[in-house]
Structure 1
């Protein structure tokens, strides 16, 4: 049960930080380009890599910290960082075809799933 509390606490903080950071960046840029989301995703990737690198080399970190920071906070801040971390793990293990399938598949299929979901949602309410 405790692990769910760590994830929930990190998730609450991560979602608030995402909302605030994205909004601040978007207001600064004042453009139709989704700069806030772009910035949050890039910051998230940097932070996820940084924290993962620290956790890899430090055996003294309790598993609850990993749940709080990586699963909870980073998962709510941006799942894009998890997507990129998993892709980099595939590269590290030499699985190039799986890397291409993961990146290409999630990007292209995800795009079409959004389009399909929007169309289905509009169909349902019309």
Structure 2
């Protein structure tokens, strides 16, 4: 194991987790609702960033592995959250909001993939 790579992933994860907390709290304050807009936003933005970084990496062979690890594994790994998505989906369902839960699940999946593709597409212009 390369200690520098581990530290870069850790720092990226730290910053991503802080950014996610700020994103989710900011949106929850502005849009108080049962629907988890904050987590959805963090996951969509994180998917976009990941698509952008890896889109660049596919075209720019000189991008270092450290940059990819910091942004992809570290920051995006800390910023996005599957566990919160899963918890919120089940919680909505348990609160007798099955339609909202299914809407959240399908919206997260479809828009998450589209966000990743949009990031990849945008990276083509750099």
TM-score w.r.t. length of structure 2:
0.61
Deviations 1:44-93 (A, max 9, x none): 1111111110111001111110111101100111155xxxxxxxxxxxxx
Distance (whole Å) between structure 2 residues aligned to residue 79 and residue 16 of structure 1: 12
Tell me which stretches of 4 or more aligned residues in structure 1 moved more than 4 Å.
Answer: none
After TM superposition, the structure 1 = structure 2 runs for residues 18-97 of structure 1, keeping only pairs within 5 Å, are: 18-80=20-82
TM-score w.r.t. length of structure 1:
0.61
1:25 is displaced (CA, Å) by 1.0
Deviations 1:18-60 (A, max 9, x none): 0001111111111121110011111111111111101110011
Number of residue-to-residue matches in the alignment: 84
Give the match's secondary structure for 1:37: helix
- Taking a change above 3 Å as real, the CA distance of residues 57 and 77 of structure 1, as seen in their structure-2 partners, is same
Structure 2, unaligned runs of 5 or more: 95-126
Match of 1:4 in 2: 6
Give the match's secondary structure for 1:61: coil
Structure 1, unaligned runs of 5 or more: 81-106, 116-126
- Taking a change above 3 Å as real, the CA distance of residues 79 and 66 of structure 1, as seen in their structure-2 partners, is farther
Instruction: Provide the aligned C-alpha RMSD in A.
Output: 1.9
